[in-house]
């Protein structure tokens, strides 16, 4: 089965069931599509069925060293690899990067930092100035529009425009909820927090109604990020 080209598919190789479940839940809720397996054998089987953009690998797996798996991924695929392990020695870090890891996290892993690392790897792998379909995102501030490609144009409300101006100005980085709430609503309280979440949901729905996946990613309990390269006019 081949995935939707607009979906970021993540393969999580982790034999700790509780950790695997919590990370999968977090990343799925952030908009990624996570497949979780508990061994190298299950990983190889998953790789034969689907293409993944990022693979998260635990080093201490029950049937084979995670370092060996990382070497296999580096040699045979173009997937980005993040190691997650309790091994914190410098020698282990060097071995991990030498094997082909793009990032090395020592457990316990902060899910927000892991999400940011995944987004950074995915964005770096995309062609500059275009989404996964090769169509350019443009924010037309004077016209209050978000334009995708040559013809798709999404009309924005004043609040939606303010939100996008803040997100796109951050160049793919997460903008905190505090910054967004103070800039858009001039206050930080429970009511404005719900209003911000509703604003994001409505804007995502508009984008998806135009036939495109939403580039607005959620960093839970932190903020939001515009994950695609965008031109601002």
pLDDT of 129: 44
Domain for residue 3, yes or no? no
Domain for residue 37, yes or no? yes
Count of domains forming the chain:
2
Domain extent at residue 161: 137-232
Which domain CATH number covers 189?
A: 1.10.10.10
Backbone angles phi, psi at 47, to 5 degrees: -65, -25
- Strands ordered across the beta sheet of 223-226: 175-176, 223-226, 216-219
Which domain CATH number covers 99?
A: 3.40.50.2300
Give the position of tokens 């839940």: 25
Domain for residue 1, yes or no? no
Domain for residue 132, yes or no? no
Domain for residue 38, yes or no? yes
Among 125, 148, 172, the domain-final residue is 125
- The helix (run of H) or strand (run of E) holding residue 21 is helix 17-29
For residues 101 and 146, state if they share a domain. no
Domain for residue 131, yes or no? no
Report how far residue 53's alpha carbon sits from residue 219's, in angstroms, rounded to the nearest whole number. Answer: 19
pLDDT digits (tens, 9 = 90+) for 48-88: 888 899 999 999 999 999 999 999 888 888 889 999 999 88
pLDDT of 47: 87
More confident residue, 191 or 5: 191
For residues 156 and 222, state if they share a domain. yes
For residues 92 and 190, state if they share a domain. no
- 16: confidence class by pLDDT, cuts 50, 70, 90: very high
For residues 24 and 65, state if they share a domain. yes
What phi-psi label fits residue 31: left (phi over 0), alpha (psi between -120 and 50 degrees) or beta?
left
For residues 222 and 170, state if they share a domain. yes
- Tokens for 143, please give them: 């016209």
Among 125, 148, 170, the domain-final residue is 125
pLDDT digits (tens, 9 = 90+) for 138-196: 999 999 999 987 767 899 999 999 999 999 887 667 788 888 998 999 877 788 889 99
pLDDT of 4: 42
For residues 152 and 97, state if they share a domain. no
Closest by CA to 12, choosing from 3, 2, 4, 50, is: 50
For residues 107 and 156, state if they share a domain. no
H-type alpha helices, 126-219: 158-168, 177-184, 190-209
């Amino acid at each position: 089965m081949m995935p939707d080209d607009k979906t970021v598919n993540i393969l999580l190789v982790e034999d700790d069931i509780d950790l695997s479940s919590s990370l999968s839940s977090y990343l799925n809720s952030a908009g990624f599509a996570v497949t979780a397996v508990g061994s190298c054998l299950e990983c190889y089987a998953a790789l034969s069925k689907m293409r993944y953009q990022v693979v998260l690998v635990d080093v201490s797996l029950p049937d084979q060293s995670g370092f060996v798996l990382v070497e296999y991924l580096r040699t045979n695929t173009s997937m980005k690899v993040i190691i997650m392990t309790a091994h914190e020695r410098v020698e282990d870090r060097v071995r991990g990067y030498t094997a082909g890891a793009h990032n090395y996290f020592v457990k316990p892993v902060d899910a927000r930092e892991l999400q940011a690392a995944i987004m950074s790897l995915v964005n770096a792998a995309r062609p500059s100035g275009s989404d996964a379909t090769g169509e350019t995102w443009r924010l037309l501030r004077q016209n209050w529009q978000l334009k995708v490609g040559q013809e798709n144009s999404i009309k924005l409300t004043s609040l939606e425009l303010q939100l996008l101006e803040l997100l796109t100005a951050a160049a793919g980085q997460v903008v905190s909820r505090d910054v967004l709430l103070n800039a858009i609503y001039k206050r930080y309280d429970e009511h404005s927090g719900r209003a911000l979440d509703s604003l994001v949901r409505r804007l995502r729905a508009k984008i998806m109604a135009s036939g495109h996946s939403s580039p607005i990613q959620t960093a839970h309990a932190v903020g939001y990020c515009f994950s695609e390269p965008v031109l601002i006019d």
